[in-house]
């Protein structure tokens, strides 16, 4: 029986040589091609991109052949490219979508496929459901169906494209590089062997900014761990910062849609705080007050700032596609998720880790203060917020019992009154002191993700303990 290919929050991902096989990749690409033909029977153009993972070039070439068999013109990117650069290329080239071979921040044994629609946005559930149905339809035929060339229509010819120049030009229009140069900022950059190599650092150097880089070569094993710009994986970046006396360290994950930021003293700024700082900064520096978006699991520091600035707040389910929709409608100045994804207005409706890092550099340069100092000022302005995210594995019995529990409406939690029950995504309980806890069951493994936030560090410890106890009691 064929493996079921399911597109989750950010595409389909699987372990190579187990489920991510040549046969399954053919099935997935054939399903996408069938979907595109149903939407644009007169012939579509689709960008094919990848991160630097093992066999990426091969998968792109294979996908190009499948697309051409369906009468679709493939536009192949010659080099690994950041996911946001691919999104921008879709918009600039007026393509009908993009197939991106990437497993983002997942460990090196994984690969995956992200599909973006013609607006550069990650495909919404209604699109991915149609693609999954097309994959199933293809499975019911002995061979993948090719679309014959229509009378008078020439067979598609493979095109090539370099996504880098136009994307870097756009970033140069958004970010005040002159301000960074004027402040004599010293920056260290870690692309984590990923797709942003030659992007963030090259753009900064073109403006005369002093940048040093670690992990600036291709390694399909990403140093033997996940290419995730998280606190415990940024020691080499910290070492380079100490060596060069850098004012800030910026990092991106495997496909550069996520960011990591390290302050001058080596402190990792959790993404929740980066999103809040940049939201506040964009309102002040750009005067943008059209709105802000955050996922239901992201810090309420954003809520407090939205109230202080008189800006409309949008709270979305987890998944950047929902924020991307708001960016396309120009309803928000910035949108972000606690999992280190953000983008801003007049830019791609896709997570952009390259942009996030560069905007942090601009913010430090303009304010002349470290990120830690800026965060303290934010706490003085709207109060303090201490968020945390934890994962807990569940036995089948515990998962069954807890799934039923998630349907309940508790009136009290951790000794405090529940003032609001939010079911935008999972179960979020807001308590009378402004603290909250949110539970989300994973769709792919027996894990519950627990997000908690309190107004002081002691409160966070108590809330976190209560959140865990509530799962297993």
pLDDT on residue 150: 47
pLDDT at 238: 98
Task: Provide the pLDDT confidence category of residue 443 given band limits of 50, 70 and 90.
Answer: confident
Is 141 in contact with 371 (CB distance < 8 Å)? no
Looking at residue 430, what is its pLDDT? 96
HSE value, Cβ hemisphere, 13 Å, CA-based, for 87: 25
Considering the chain, what is the average pLDDT of its residues?
95
Euclidean distance between CA atoms 204 and 219, whole angstroms: 23
Q: Is 122 helix (H, G, I), strand (E, B) or coil?
A: strand
Of all residues in the chain, the percent with pLDDT exceeding 90 is: 92
Contact in structure between 337 and 295 (CB atoms under 8 Å): yes
Name which residue leads in pLDDT, 148 or 289.
289
Contact 162, 79 (CB under 8 A): yes
Euclidean distance between CA atoms 213 and 191, whole angstroms: 8
- For residue range 44-87, list pLDDT tens digits in order: 999 999 999 999 999 999 999 999 999 999 999 999 999 999 99
Are 333 and 290 spatial neighbours (Cβ–Cβ below 8 Å)?
yes
Q: Could you identify the residue written with the tokens 């756009």?
A: 170
At 161 the three-state DSSP class reads strand
Q: How confident is the model at residue 442 (pLDDT cuts 50, 70, 90)?
A: confident
Domain boundaries, the chain: 12-162, 166-382, 386-472
Examine the pLDDT at 434 and tell me if it is beyond 80. Answer: yes
At the second CATH level, the architecture of 166-382 is 3-Layer(aba) Sandwich (3.40)
Taking only the tens place, the pLDDT of each residue in 350-401 is: 999 999 999 999 999 999 999 999 999 999 999 999 999 999 999 999 999 9
Q: Identify the CATH homologous superfamily for domain 12-162.
A: Alpha-D-Glucose-1,6-Bisphosphate, subunit A, domain 3 (3.40.120.10)
Residue 390 sits at φ, ψ, to 5 deg, of: -140, 150
Higher local confidence (pLDDT), 156 or 309: 309
pLDDT of 142 higher than 80: no
**What gap in Å lies between CA 261 and CA 229, rounded to an integer?**
8
Is the separation of the CB atoms in 95 and 39 below 8 Å? Answer: no
Alpha helix (H) ranges present in 104-187?
125-139, 164-174, 177-182
What mean pLDDT comes out for the span 309-313?
98
The secondary structure of 329-359 as a DSSP string is TT--SEEEETTTEEEETTS-SS--HHHHHHH
Cα–Cα distance measured from residue 361 to residue 84, given in angstroms and rounded to the nearest whole number: 19
**Which candidate, 70, 104, 69, places its Cα nearest to that of 84?**
104
Rg (CA), the chain: 23
Q: Phi/psi at 260 (nearest 5 deg)?
A: -140, 140
- Classified by CATH at the fold level, domain 386-472 comes out as TATA-Binding Protein (3.30.310)
Average pLDDT over residues 249-256: 98
Q: Is residue 155 pLDDT above 90, yes or no?
A: no
Measure the CA–CA gap between 376 and 373, rounded to whole angstroms.
Answer: 5
pLDDT band at 308 (very low <50, low <70, confident <90, very high): very high
CA dihedral 399, 402, 403, 409 (to 10 degrees): -170
Report the alpha-carbon distance of residue 401 to residue 167 in Å, rounded: 49
Please determine, for residue 151, whether its predicted confidence score (pLDDT) is greater than 60.
no
φ/ψ (deg, to 5) at 244: -105, 0
12-162 and 166-382 agree in CATH topology = yes
Are residues 316 and 295 in contact, defined by beta-carbon separation less than 8 angstroms?
Answer: yes
How many Cα atoms within 13 Å fall on the side-chain side of residue 226? 13
The counts of H helices and E strands in the chain are: 15, 21
Sole residue written with tokens 């066999």:
55
145: pLDDT strictly greater than 50: no
> Model pTM greater than 0.85?
yes
* pLDDT per residue as tens digits for the range 199-242: 999 999 999 999 999 999 999 999 999 999 999 999 999 999 99
pLDDT at 1 over 70: no
What would the mean pLDDT of 265-283 be, rounded to a whole number? Answer: 98
Kindly report which listed range (22-36, 173-187, 420-434, 435-449) carries the lowest average pLDDT score. 435-449
**Is 90 exceeded by the pLDDT of residue 163?**
yes
What's the Cα-to-Cα distance from 416 to each of 383, 412, 459, rounded to whole Å?
20, 5, 12
Of 438, 436, 440, nearest to 419 by C-alpha is: 436
Please give the share of the chain, as a percent, with pLDDT higher than 70.
97
């Amino acid at each position: 029986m064929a493996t079921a290919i399911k597109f989750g929050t950010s595409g389909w991902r699987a372990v190579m040589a187990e489920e991510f096989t040549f046969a399954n990749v053919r099935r997935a690409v054939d399903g996408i091609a069938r979907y595109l033909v149903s939407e644009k029977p007169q012939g579509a153009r689709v960008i094919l991109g990848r991160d630097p993972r093992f066999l990426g070039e091969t998968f792109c070439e294979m996908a190009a052949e499948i697309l051409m068999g369906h009468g679709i013109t493939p536009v192949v990117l010659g080099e690994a490219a950041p996911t946001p650069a691919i999104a921008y290329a879709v918009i600039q080239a007026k393509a009908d979508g993009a197939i991106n071979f990437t497993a983002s921040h997942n460990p090196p044994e994984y690969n995956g496929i992200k599909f973006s629609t013609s607006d550069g946005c990650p495909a919404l559930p209604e699109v991915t459901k149609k693609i999954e149905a097309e994959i199933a339809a293809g499975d019911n035929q002995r061979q993948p169906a090719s679309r014959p060339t229509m009378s008078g229509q020439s067979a598609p010819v493979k095109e090539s494209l370099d996504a880098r120049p136009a994307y870097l030009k756009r970033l140069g229009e958004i970010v005040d590089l002159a301000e960074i140069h004027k402040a004599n900022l010293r920056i260290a950059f870690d692309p984590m062997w990923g797709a942003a190599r030659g992007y963030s650092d090259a753009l900064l150097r073109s403006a005369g900014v002093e940048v040093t880089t670690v992990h600036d070569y291709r390694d399909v094993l990403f140093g033997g761990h996940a290419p995730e710009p998280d606190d415990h994986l940024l020691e080499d970046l910290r070492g380079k910062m100490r060596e060069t006396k850098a004012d800030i360290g910026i990092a991106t994950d495997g496909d550069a849609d996520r960011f990591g930021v390290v302050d001058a003293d080596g402190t990792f700024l959790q993404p929740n705080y980066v999103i809040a700082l940049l939201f506040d900064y964009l309102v002040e520096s750009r005067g943008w007050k059209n709105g802000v978006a955050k996922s239901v699991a992201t810090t309420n520091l954003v809520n407090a700032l939205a109230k202080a600035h008189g800006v409309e707040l949008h709270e979305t389910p987890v998944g950047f596609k929902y924020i991307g929709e708001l960016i396309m409608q120009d309803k928000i100045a910035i949108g972000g998720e606690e999992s280190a994804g953000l983008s801003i207005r007049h830019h791609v409706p896709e997570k952009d880790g390259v942009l996030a890092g560069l905007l942090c550099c601009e913010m430090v340069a303009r304010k002349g203060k470290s990120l830690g100092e800026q965060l303290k000022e934010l706490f003085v302005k709207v109060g303090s917020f201490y968020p945390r995210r934890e994962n807990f594995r569940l036995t089948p019995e515990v998962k069954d019992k807890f799934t039923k529990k998630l349907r309940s409406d508790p009136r009290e939690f951790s000794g405090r009154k529940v003032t609001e029950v939010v079911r935008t995504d999972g179960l979020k309980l807001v308590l009378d002191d402004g603290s909250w806890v949110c539970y989300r069951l994973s769709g792919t493994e027996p894990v519950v993700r627990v997000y908690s936030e309190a107004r002081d560090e002691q409160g966070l410890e108590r809330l976190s303990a209560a959140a865990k106890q509530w799962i297993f009691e």
